Amino acid sequence: MIDRAEPHPASAEPSPWNIANALTVLRILLVPVFLILLLQDGGEDLTARWWALAVFLLAMLTDKIDGDLARKYNLITDFGKIADPIADKSLMAAALIGLAMIAELPWWVPVVILVRELGITVLRFFMIRTAVMPASRGGKIKTVLQTVAIGLFLLLFPLAAVIPAAAASVLLVVAWVVLIAAIVVTVVTGIDYCLQAARLAKDQNRD
């Protein structure tokens, strides 16, 4: 997820009808398209798998572009602050659950990652009334690792049809290494957010 910085307090909020929000909405609309392509023929349709990877990469590209545009041209809106994380988490959830449905990931992987993501999202909503919990560098690393891991797993099946078995095995090992790193960072940053929330709550109670 590309975090959108807060606008200058003296400036009025721009119209929600802007290119950054349009890209966010496009990313949300791409989620069912991606999932349909991924699940075609139980995940064994090679052409659909290539298209699923392309849609996933396009969606992740819109994530970077809409964040850059929002910051550069002050297009940050309340709608964008809500829709952007929804789009990001929907895409990640669709990819993880879809890969588990076609048995290319064990179910514990999406469970661990999505429980953390949902839990931290709920925690942020509870904390937003009293304090802002900024995104940490670890959170950004987590997003990059998750994206790379999912991209590699999406690539594995269609690429295995055109490369030697040994190369496919190496790619599988690399994909798992990145995924395990993503899971570790996901859990660690989740614990860090919880500790941060506890400290903020404690400080608020003192005040």
pLDDT band at 196 (very low <50, low <70, confident <90, very high): confident
- Ordered by where they begin, the domains of the chain are 19-206 (1.20.120.1760)
Pair of tokens at residue 177: 């290494």
pLDDT reported for residue 10: 46
**Amino acid (one-letter) located at 204:** Q
Full DSSP string of 140-195: HHHHHHHHHHHHHHHHHHHHHTTS-HHHHHHHHHHHHHHHHHHHHHHHHHHHHHHH
Contacts of 86 (CB under 8 A, 6+ apart): 28
pLDDT band at 120 (very low <50, low <70, confident <90, very high): confident
The per-residue pLDDT for range 86-116, each reduced to its tens digit, is 888 899 999 999 999 999 999 999 999 999 9
Indicate whether 175 pLDDT > 90.
yes
Residue with structure tokens 């003192």? 206
pTM: 0.85
Pair of tokens at residue 42: 């139980």
**C-alpha to C-alpha distance for 177 and 122, rounded to whole angstroms:** 29
The per-residue pLDDT for range 19-62, each reduced to its tens digit, is 888 999 999 999 999 999 999 999 999 999 999 999 999 999 99
Residue with structure tokens 């890209």? 23
